[in-house]
Amino acid sequence: MSSLTFILSVLLFQLLFTSHPCHRILTSAAAAGRWQLLQKSIGISAMHMQLLSNDRVVVFDRTDFGPSNLPLPEGKCRFDLNDTALKQDCTAHSIEYDVLSNKFRPLMVQTDVWCSSGAVTPNGDLVQTGGFNDGEPGSGSAGWEFGRNPVLNPVLYRPDNKMGTRFETHTPTMTPRMYHSTAALLRDGRVLVGGSNPHTYYNFTSVLFPTELSLEAFCPPYLEAKFNNLRPTIVGPNSMSGISYGKTLKLEMEIRGKVEEKLVWITMVAPAFNTHSFSMNQRLLVLGNDKITALGKSRYNIEVRTPRSGNLAPAGFYLLFVVHQDIPSMGIWVKLQ
């Protein structure tokens, strides 16, 4: 379905490796989108990301990299006799990033969260499980120092296009994102991107791909100003509203330009825990469009049926979007219960 188009840009924001040491940039006449450098350095390399319902992102790296570039506040230190790098570490290995203000603050972790898992509970809390060493022992590797030739272009998959034309390459970033990198969809439709550290420790010199501490955002072409007349604006309900299973959901929206009613639908996206370039628990629900009613002055009511059960959509917070002709609105948070 075409409703998957803008979400799948996240799924296919991928880093591919071959054997040549040069950065690989795919060129295309259709290349679009733009990049924003949000923070030159957040002090840690973003290996894990989780978007929360307060529009903040919790970011982790790993403690056994040695000291990060971000000190803990007020002289705090972590003491861990089992840590393989530092028994006393006075630097942060996690941050909270505020999407709306573009600011961040250090967080303190008690165990090594490398290769951990996470999920958001129905009340919006982040539950962190597993890890490495004193977190939960494990083994395995992928990429590391052998990674070469990163693809710098985001790839957009359009499932409704003819075979052979479904993949689009977009404007490349200037920052290689190697092993231990992350990407997460934000409420405004941008894709938050960070991390990259194929080394055992933080390493900024004498290596092909230094540890990367920057944070940037990719703005897909659906955010371009030329689509503003097609872009829906959700008037109601307000963000953080509650919705129930198997009920009719009514939304009021505004679209300035001509509305193609058959090309309007509602989607719900679960905020996935992202690590190592994967969002393993990502969930997209296409609710469709049961009925649209014109209210005048470019405003419309749209009715859809919410998911029938927790088998389709586990209880908790979701990003809800209205999509019109493949152009998404700003999302709102809804709590399914």
Q: What's the average model confidence in pLDDT over 157-165?
A: 79
pLDDT higher for 72 or 157? 72
10 Å CB burial of residue 330 (0-12, 13-18, 19+) is: middle
Residue finishing a domain among 170, 197, 223: 223
The candidate with the shortest Cα–Cα distance to 89, out of 105, 115, 111, 104, is 111
Are residues 186 and 247 located together in one domain of the fold? no
**186 and 322 fall within a common domain:** no
| Residue 202 contacts residue 68 (beta carbons within 8 Å) | yes
Q: Are residues 248 and 307 in the same domain?
A: yes
- Give CA torsion, residues 219, 28, 276, 47, to 10 deg: -40
Does 254 share its domain with 327?
yes
Segment 227-243 shows an average pLDDT of 95
Q: Is residue 240 part of a domain?
A: yes
Q: Residues 187, 218: one domain?
A: yes
Lowest mean pLDDT across 17-26, 28-37, 141-150, 176-185: 17-26
- Return the residue matching tokens 């469709």: 288
Whether residues 259 and 304 fall in one domain: yes
Q: Return the higher-pLDDT residue of 84 and 93.
A: 93
- Does residue 157 form part of some domain? yes
What percentage of the chain carries pLDDT values higher than 90? Answer: 50
Q: Which of 169, 189, 223 is the last residue of a domain?
A: 223
CA distances from 240 to 53, 55, 233 (A): 8, 11, 16
Our count of domains for the chain comes to: 2
Supply the range of the domain harboring residue 167: 2-60+96-107+136-223
272 domain residue, yes or no: yes
Rounded to an integer, what distance in angstroms lies between the CA atom of residue 230 and that of residue 92?
Answer: 43
218 shares a domain with 230: no
319 and 200 assigned to the same domain: no
- Structure-block tokens of residue 18: 């071959």
Residue 261 lies in a domain: yes
Please give the average per-residue pLDDT across 143-161, as a whole number. Answer: 75
Taking the model in full, what pTM does it have? Answer: 0.77
SS percent in the chain: helix, strand, coil, step 5: 10, 35, 55
What is the pLDDT averaged over residues 293-301?
Answer: 94
Residue at 236 is within a domain:
yes
End residue of a domain, out of 223, 238, 261: 223
320 and 207 belong to one structural domain: no
φ, ψ for residue 78, nearest 5 deg? -105, 130
In a domain, 187, yes or no: yes
Instruction: Identify the residue with better confidence: 278 or 47.
Output: 47
Residues 142, 26 within the same domain: yes
Residue 71 lies in a domain: no
Q: What is the pLDDT of residue 22?
A: 35
Is 239 in a helix, a strand, or coil?
coil
CATH label of the domain that carries residue 283: 2.60.40.10
Cα separations in angstroms, 281 against 120, 275, 278, 300: 10, 11, 9, 33
Q: Is residue 32 part of a domain?
A: yes
